[in-house]
């Protein structure tokens, strides 16, 4: 039988040699479980506090805008041929198309390209059917309705950013005059709108030419770089006001101008490429002027004391 003392030692019977005894050996199972929870909670709280302190930083929203001179000029034209007989309509269409292409190519404008489009074949309504519809009467379908064969032609000229405005206007006038002489209808088709006050249709003039950027991705890259510079300046300003030093970039989130999910990026310039066709339409103008390309980002910086 061993006799415990008030200290942390006990004696074995017959040996007289003290044996070391730790306090927790006298704890009950309930005490050990409770004290273990206290220690675990303390360690978790310390870890959370350290993590929160390590993630403290400055978050800013910045935008960048660059203005680019358009480098592509586009014109839309239409050639057609109509006749009562299908063979005659196709012959007229081919003749008109060849004459139009030869007249425009004869201008010898560098980098000018003519791109063909779809071919539409429709049956036109005769004058009697049109008058019947205007009076609210059913139109009588005639077996001898004229047949119309039409095709849109897209005229594209690259590299206009190297020309002056006067040179671009002179070139545009030459193309328009040559197209009219060859029977080409330039410009998008008018879309009449119904006027309920007059009971008629209003037509507004459509843009004849379009000016656009050929490399939208490079323009957006420059806009992002400008946005990053603005974010850096904002972060340094806020850090100075707080008595801190601005650290490295922790994360960047792109804030697109069009409604779509935000894209998280892990590196400064690793932005997502644009949707080529849809984004190209966003950076198209009917006026000869600089085109603005913008980008918005959310940047989170680390801070140092």
57-69+215-304 CATH pick, 3.30.342.10, 2.40.110.10, 3.30.110.170, 3.40.50.2020: 3.30.110.170
Query: Each residue's pLDDT tens digit in the chain (305 positions)?
Result: 444 444 444 445 555 555 555 455 565 666 666 666 656 555 555 554 445 445 578 999 999 999 999 999 999 888 888 888 888 888 998 999 999 999 999 999 999 999 888 888 887 666 666 666 666 666 555 556 778 888 888 999 999 999 999 999 999 999 999 988 888 878 765 544 545 544 444 555 567 889 999 998 999 999 999 999 999 999 999 999 989 999 999 999 988 654 333 333 333 333 344 455 556 667 888 889 999 999 999 999 999 88
C-alpha to C-alpha distance for 253 and 262, rounded to whole angstroms: 7
Q: What is the pLDDT of residue 2?
A: 45
C-alpha to C-alpha distance for 154 and 272, rounded to whole angstroms: 30
C-alpha to C-alpha distance for 211 and 157, rounded to whole angstroms: 10
Locate the domains of the chain by residue range: 57-69+215-304, 72-212
Q: What is the pLDDT of residue 67?
A: 94
Element (H, E) at 222: helix 216-241
Positions of E strands within 84-203: 112-116, 120-123, 147-158, 185-186, 193-195, 200-202
Collect all residues with Cβ–Cβ distance below 8 Å to 218 and sequence separation of at least 6. none
Do 104 and 178 meet the contact criterion of CB atoms below 8 Å apart?
A: yes
Instruction: Look at the alpha carbons of 258, 263, 267, 273 in this order and tell me if their dihedral is positive or negative.
Output: negative
C-alpha to C-alpha distance for 163 and 165, rounded to whole angstroms: 7
C-alpha to C-alpha distance for 100 and 93, rounded to whole angstroms: 11
Report CA-CA distances (Å) from 108 to 81, 145, 166, 171, 178: 26, 40, 18, 11, 12
Q: What is the pLDDT of residue 278?
A: 59
Q: H helices within 135-215, ranges in order?
A: 165-181
C-alpha to C-alpha distance for 131 and 124, rounded to whole angstroms: 14
Tell the CATH topology of 72-212: Alpha-Beta Plaits (3.30.70)
The answer, as to whether pTM is greater than 0.75, is no
Collect all residues with Cβ–Cβ distance below 8 Å to 301 and sequence separation of at least 6. 57, 58, 59, 60, 235, 239, 246, 247, 248, 249, 250
Do 80 and 96 meet the contact criterion of CB atoms below 8 Å apart?
A: yes
Tokens read off for 209: 């030419």
Chain-centroid distance, C-alpha 200: 39
User: What 3-state class would DSSP assign to 101?
Assistant: helix
DSSP code for 242: T
For the chain, the average pLDDT equals: 75
């Amino acid at each position: 039988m061993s006799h415990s003392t008030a200290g942390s030692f006990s004696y074995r019977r017959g040996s007289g040699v003290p044996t070391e005894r730790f306090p927790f050996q006298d704890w009950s199972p309930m005490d050990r479980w409770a004290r273990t929870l206290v220690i675990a909670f303390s360690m978790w709280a310390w870890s959370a506090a350290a993590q929160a302190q390590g993630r403290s930083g400055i978050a800013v929203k910045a935008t960048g805008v660059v203005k680019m001179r358009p480098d592509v000029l586009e014109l839309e034209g239409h050639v057609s041929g109509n006749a009562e007989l299908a063979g005659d309509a196709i012959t007229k269409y081919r003749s008109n198309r060849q004459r139009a292409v030869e007249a425009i190519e004869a201008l010898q404008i560098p980098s000018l390209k003519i791109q063909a489009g779809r071919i539409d074949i429709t049956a036109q309504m005769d004058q009697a059917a049109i008058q019947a519809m205007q009076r609210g009467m059913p139109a009588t379908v005639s077996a001898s309705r004229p047949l119309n064969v039409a095709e849109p032609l897209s005229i594209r000229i690259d590299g206009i950013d190297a020309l002056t405005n006067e040179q671009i206007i002179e070139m545009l006038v030459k193309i328009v005059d040559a197209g009219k002489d060859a029977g080409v209808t330039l410009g998008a088709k008018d879309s009449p709108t119904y006027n309920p006050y007059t009971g008629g249709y209003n037509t507004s003039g459509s843009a004849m030419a379009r000016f656009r950027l050929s490399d939208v991705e490079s323009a957006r890259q420059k806009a992002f770089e400008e946005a990053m510079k603005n974010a850096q300046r904002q972060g340094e300003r806020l850090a100075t006001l707080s008595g801190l030093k601005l650290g490295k970039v922790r994360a960047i989130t792109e804030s697109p101008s069009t409604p779509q999910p935000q894209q998280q990026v892990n590196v400064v310039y690793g932005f997502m490429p644009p949707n080529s066709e849809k984004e190209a339409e966003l950076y198209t103008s009917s006026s000869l002027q600089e085109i603005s390309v913008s980008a918005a980002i959310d940047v989170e910086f680390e801070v140092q004391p």
